[in-house]
Each structure stands twice: as structure tokens, then as C-alpha cells.
Chains A and B, each alone.
Chain A
Amino acid sequence: MEIDRRAFIASLGGPAAVALMDHEAKAEALEHYMEDKLDEMVAAQQPEKFPTVAEIEAQIETRPFRRGTGGVFTGQRGQNVKKLEPMPDKPTLFDYFNLRFAPANHVLQSATRAMKTGMSEEIILACLLHDCVLSLIKPDHGWWGAQLFEPYIPEKSAFAIRYHQTLRFYPDQEAGYEYPDQYYRIFGHDYTPPKYIEDTYKMLKNHKWYMEPRLVTVNDLYAFDPNAKVSIEPFTDIIGRHFKQPKEGLGYDNSSSAHMWRTLARPDNPL
């Protein structure tokens, strides 16, 4: 079995931690590491049984909430929701990232990867924002997400956010996008997208900006590692250049999506 030395050392807490271990402890740690890796390799070889659409539908009445509910409205893993920190009077995008979208690992990883693969700033911004609206609502998140950010970001970034949802269902080998196995799990292996998604895909295929949402999907694929260390700091300049932060604060500038920001700010309001 091939051992990734760096990954092994990192798993033990880094070189400093390894230096404190005696030979026996190191040998034992290596043995455990190899056992874990072997388990992972065996698991990866097992054909996974994906649910059908009917099986997923059968789960609907087993939950006290609907799957489309935004993240701020439900507790983690069936637990009660927690009290949220209040937002500042004039909240910025950074405030929403810290207080409402957090931990936002997925979008931060996606944008980090977009940066590392040389994407344009509009695409990096789109990757950074593309799934933030899941805190508010999940179905049709591409359209909702674009609507939330549209008053503040470049047209191309909004286009990319709106249509990445559609392109996620359609592989594109040339662009390097593979249909994700996760979709077999969450939609069912026999799922076919509804007609409005198919129609949107047909429109996009011939659109001059097809690659904008496509590049979001290409970077979307690679961003589900809960252990990766990412932060919003590397994107400060891009946000500064491309995000029109309203001086009144997000939610109070009377824009077409101000009410959506206010809902995110106060999700406990009964009406």
C-alpha cells in the first residue's frame, strides 16, 4: 500500500507531534493509519446502492421539516435550533458570512479552488456566493441565489449563480464536469430533471455565457471536504472590487432583494 507521508504526519498532528513520539508509538500509529486507509480503499471498491426517487419520496413524512427548508430555520441533525447572534445595524457581506452563512465551508472551498485554477474574478465571486442562499431556501437555489445577490454583483456572476443549478444535472466532459455521485443519493439514481430545467439547459447550451455557470459547476464538484481549512480572507480584495456593499447595510437599502437579507437577519420573526 502506498502511504502519503505528508497526510500521515498531518493525521498525527504535524511534525512537532511526531517528534514527541517514540518508535513504538510511531509504528503503532502507522499501523492504524494503514488499517484506516485499507478500510477506505475497500469501501471505495464496494458498489454503493443508491436510492430510487420513490424511496426518497417515501421519506418525506418521516421528517418534521421539509427538505427545502433553509439552513437557518432548522436544527443540525434533528436538534433544536440555537439562538442566533444579532446582526449589526448596517450588515456587510462579511457579517452575513460570519453570522448567518457560517461555516460556509462548501462555498469557501469552491472559491478557493476556482482561485487556484486561474478562474476570472467574476467566476471566483460566483463560486464564493453560489450556494449561500441555501441558508434561506433550498429548492431552485440557483434562481433564488442570483436574485439575492443580483443588485450587488456583476451580471456575469449573477448569471453563473442562477444557472449553475441547471448545469449540475448535465455532465460536460469537455469542460471537465462529471455528474456527481452525491446527486444519485439526494435525488435518486432514476431521477430526471423537470421540464423547466431541461428547457433552461437547452437555452444555456447556445448561450454566449454558457461557460460562466459551467465553471461554477466544475469547481462546485470539488468542495465537500469538512476538514479543509478555508477562510473568507483571501477573497477580501475580490469582494471589494466586485461587490457593491450598500452604505445602509444589506437588508436596508430598499433593493429588490433587501427583504431576503432581512429574513436571513431575523429568521425567528413569526411574521
Chain B
Amino acid sequence: MRIATGVLVSLALAVAAAQAGKTQTVNGLQMTVGGVKLMERAGLRDCPPGTNTVNAVQRPGDQLSVVTVAFKVLPDFKPRPPGTMKRPVATAADGTAYNTSVQFVDVGSVPEYSCDFVYRVPSGTVLKTLQIEDAKFDLSALDK
């Protein structure tokens, strides 16, 4: 019983560590959060970077928090129907969830790529987590 509990605790700790870490894999798509930066103007390109050339522009009272994520398509990646992969959601320290206008389009079409997910948030907001499908990334150390 004690051993089983120990194994469970170890597993839980391993899962928590993986979730807090910067690299996670979902459905054969490896994702690594590179960083969070503030920009006055940010491109709303699709992910993988597509044809869009439209930008978001910072407005008074807002800031554009941009989370950079590197993607690698692994051999066990299985394509899913168009539109299945939802846009990543960022959560601030106060629990408020923010959506991005950047959308996944043909995620398996390029073996490796990097995407900038743009979040319009109130000035001074610090992002805490980023959720992509089942993967949750801890941004606390990155967004300062």
C-alpha cells in the first residue's frame, strides 16, 4: 500500500513537473514555450506562420503580450480534421482567461516552426499560464 502510494505521488510529481516545464507533447506535436514579450504592434499570423499580414496595434490601457512557442511535428503526429485544434488560452495571475486571434491552420504541414500568440490584455497584466489542448505551460518565470 505504502509503495503504491509512493508510486502515485512520484507520478503526480512527475506530471506536475512536466506541466510546469517548457516542453510538452500532445498528439505527436512537441511544444516548447520560448518566452513572453510585450509589443506595441504584433503580427496576427496563423500557426504555422501563414499568409496573414495583418497586425494588432496596442491601444491606450492595453498591452499586447506575445507568447512564443516552438513546435515540432513528431513521427507519431496524427492529422485531425480542420479546425479541431483550438486557439491557445492564456490565463493571468488573477485567473482571467484571454483568447488570441492567432489560429492553428494545418499544424502538421511543416516539420518545425515557431508561432507568436498575441494576447490583448489590460496594461500591467502578467500572464501565468498558457493552455494548448491538454498541455498547460507555466509562464510565471517567463512573463515579468
Report if A113 contacts B (CB, 8 A): yes
List residues 94-118 of chain B with CB under 8 A from any CB of chain A.
Answer: 98-103, 105-106, 110, 113-114, 118
Which secondary structure dominates chain B's binding surface? Answer: loop
Determine whether the beta carbon of A221 is less than 8 Å from that of B51. no
Of the candidate stretches B15-23, B79-87, B127-135, the one touching chain A is B79-87
Give the residues in chain A near B40, CB-CB below 8 Å.
Answer: 45, 47
**Min CB–CB distance B43 → chain A (angstroms):** 7
- Give 16 CB contacts A-B under 8 Å: A4-B113, A109-B51, A113-B46, A117-B83, A118-B82, A119-B83, A173-B101, A176-B102, A178-B56, A179-B56, A180-B54, A182-B54, A218-B103, A221-B101, A223-B51, A224-B53
A48 CA / B57 CA spacing, docked (Å): 9
Interface size for chain B: under 10, 10 to 19, 20 to 34, or 35 or more residues?
Answer: 20 to 34
Judge if A222 is at the interface, Cβ distance under 8 Å. yes
**Contact status of A181 and B57, CB under 8 A, knowing A109-B51, A222-B46, A222-B52:** yes
| A122 CB to nearest B CB, Å | 15
In contact, B54 and A181 (Cβ under 8 angstroms):
yes
Are B52 and A117 neighbours in the complex by a CB distance under 8 Å?
Answer: no
Closest chain-B Cβ to A235's Cβ sits at a distance in Å of 15
Q: With A and B bound together, what is the CA distance between A218 and B106 in angstroms?
A: 17
What is the minimal beta-carbon distance from A167 to any residue of chain B, in angstroms? 14
Given B41, B46, B52, B103, which contacts A224 in the complex, CB threshold below 8 Å? B52
Tell me which residues across on chain B come within 8 A of A186, comparing CB atoms.
none
A45 to B50, CA, bound (A): 20
**Which of A's residues lie within 8 Å of B, judged by CB?**
2, 4, 6, 44-45, 47-48, 50, 109, 113, 115-119, 171, 173-174, 176-182, 184, 218, 221-225, 227-228
Nearest-neighbour CB distance to chain B for A51, whole angstroms, equals 13
Nearest CB of B to A27, in Å:
23
Complex CA gap A179/B110 in Å reads 29
Q: Is the CB of A181 within 8 A of B83?
A: no
- Is the CB–CB distance between B52 and A223 below 8 Å? yes
- Is the contact region of chain A dominated by helix, strand, or loop, or is it mixed? loop
Enumerate chain B interface residues (CB-CB to A < 8 A).
Answer: 39-41, 43-44, 46, 49-57, 81-84, 87, 98-103, 105-106, 110, 113-114, 118, 120
CA distance A224 to B57 in the complex (A): 17
CA distance A149 to B57 in the complex (A): 34
Using A47-B40, A47-B41 as known contacts, say yes or no to A173 and B52 having CB atoms under 8 A apart: no
The 8 closest A-B pairs by CB, nearest first: A118-B83, A118-B82, A222-B52, A225-B51, A178-B101, A228-B51, A181-B55, A176-B101
Taking A118-B81, A178-B56, A178-B101 as given, write out 15 further A-B residue pairs in contact, using a Cβ cutoff of 8 Å, ordered by the A residue number: A2-B114, A4-B49, A45-B41, A115-B82, A116-B82, A116-B105, A117-B83, A173-B101, A176-B100, A178-B44, A178-B118, A180-B55, A182-B54, A222-B46, A225-B52
Whether A222 and B51, one on each chain, are in contact in the complex, defined by CB atoms closer than 8 angstroms, is yes
Most A-side CB within 10 Å, residue of B55, B100, B102:
B55
Q: Is the CB of A6 within 8 A of B54?
A: no
Shortest CB distance B79–A (Å): 12
What residues of A have a CB within 8 angstroms of the CB of B53 in the complex? 224-225
A121 CB → nearest B CB, Å: 13
Closest residue of chain A to B84 (Cβ to Cβ) is A118
Query: How far does the Cβ of B2 sit from chain A's closest Cβ, in whole Å?
Result: 48
* Chain A proximity of B49: nearest CB distance (Å): 7
